[in-house]
Amino acid sequence: MNSRLIESDSPYLDPLVAATYHAITASAQFAYPARELVRQLAVARGARALDVGCGTGVVRDALAQAIGSGHVVGIDPSIAMLRAGSSNGALVAGTVPRLPFDRGVFDIVAASFVLSHVADPDAALADMARVCKVNGRIGITAWGTLPNPVGAVWKEIAATVASADELGSAFRRVIPSEDRLASGEGLQDLFGAAGLGLISIAALEYTISLSLEDFVTVKAASLERTLLRVMFDANGWTRFTRDVTEALRRRFGSRIEYVRDFSVATGTRTAD
Ligand SMILES: C[S@@+](CC[C@H](N)C(=O)[O-])C[C@H]1O[C@@H](n2cnc3c(N)ncnc32)[C@H](O)[C@@H]1O
């Protein structure tokens, strides 16, 4: 694991988190936005594409389907995520900013739910623009602000061991730019500052549907788990998981369904 590349409390460095992400989280939460991102980027067959923060590969897979696997490169700082995921495309360990590619190499540069993890998203988007060809396309996704009643139940129970402020500030340490990217204005501002021609911002919603067991497994392999881990011994964590599972079953039954909103912002590199 190369913890030099990424905040050491990033959950994605943990092979168990990466395995759960690949087995459950990616298809339940990230595959639909990935397909939308690739659709809105209108990639041409044979284009060269870079998937920044590729994780276990949902965007790589959608890109490979649109243009052919041999034309796709995925980069992520977590070796665990790269190892756990799909085999589509060439894989590189590294971060944005500081992408290890020359200027103007790719026709398409995508990053799905990644720039929120970066302290300086302006520098990140400018670096994505640097490696993109003139007239090439750059696209990102970011979560919106719809309230999440399921997450709220989990947070209510978590608040019995850590205050909302403590959890909020720990969350912002690992995902520092989520708030800025959650609005259309924030995204417009980001693309403008990188000197990109903005093509569009699409605000979309979809329903996430998981069995209660899978939802709890996903939460147990999430950032929140990483943040709470320090506050529990093994028994405490087992008790916490049981309390959350019971509260969720009482409120939602054995299937967890909720609507999430996200934006797809696409732009083009207009000049050298
Ligand atoms: C929420 S996951 C999204 C993964 C994938 N794009 C998807 O849609 O499933 C965030 C990913 O960003 C990666 N990441 C975090 N900081 C990064 C950085 N500075 N540069 C590139 N990737 C980063 C993490 O390792 C993780 O794989």
In which order are the strands placed within the sheet that holds 90-93? 90-93, 72-76, 49-52, 106-112, 132-143, 255-268, 197-211
Please report whether residue 223 resides in a domain: no
Please report whether residue 197 resides in a domain: yes
Contact indicator for 50, 73 with CB cutoff of 8 Å: yes
Give the range of the structural domain holding residue 90, as residue numbers without chain letter.
Answer: 11-145+176-208+260-269
Contact indicator for 218, 210 with CB cutoff of 8 Å: yes
pLDDT of residue 8: 63
Please report whether residue 92 resides in a domain: yes
Please report whether residue 38 resides in a domain: yes
Q: What is the pTM assigned to this prediction?
A: 0.94
Please report whether residue 117 resides in a domain: yes
For ligand 1, which residues put their CB under 6 angstroms from it? 6, 12, 26, 30, 34, 52-55, 58-59, 76-78, 81, 95-96, 112-114, 117-118
Question: What distance in angstroms lies between residue 86's CA and the mean position of ligand 1's atoms?
Answer: 15
Q: Which of 2, 4, 12 to mutate to test the pocket of ligand 1 (most atoms within 8 A of CB)?
A: 12
Contact indicator for 139, 266 with CB cutoff of 8 Å: yes
* Structural domains in the chain (count): 1
Which CATH number characterizes residue 80's domain?
Answer: 3.40.50.150
**If you take atom 4 of ligand 1, which residue's CA is the nearest one?**
55
pLDDT of residue 232: 74
Contact indicator for 110, 139 with CB cutoff of 8 Å: yes
Please report whether residue 169 resides in a domain: no
Please report whether residue 230 resides in a domain: no
Dihedral pair phi/psi, residue 52, rounded to 5°? -90, 130
Question: What distance in angstroms lies between residue 55's CA and the mean position of ligand 1's atoms?
Answer: 5
pLDDT of residue 73: 97
Going residue by residue through the chain, which has 272 residues, state the pLDDT in tens, using 9 for 90 and above: 344 445 566 889 999 999 999 999 999 999 999 999 999 999 999 999 999 999 999 999 999 999 987 899 999 999 999 999 988 899 999 999 999 999 999 999 999 999 999 999 999 999 999 999 999 999 999 999 999 899 888 888 888 877 778 788 878 888 899 999 999 999 999 999 999 998 899 999 999 999 999 999 998 888 777 777 777 777 888 888 899 999 999 999 999 999 999 999 999 998 77
Question: What distance in angstroms lies between residue 114's CA and the mean position of ligand 1's atoms?
Answer: 5
Please report whether residue 130 resides in a domain: yes
Rounded to 10 degrees, the C-alpha dihedral 54/60/62/68 comes to 170
| Pick from 64, 40, 53, 24: nearest CA to 204 | 40
Question: What distance in angstroms lies between residue 24's CA and the mean position of ligand 1's atoms?
Answer: 16
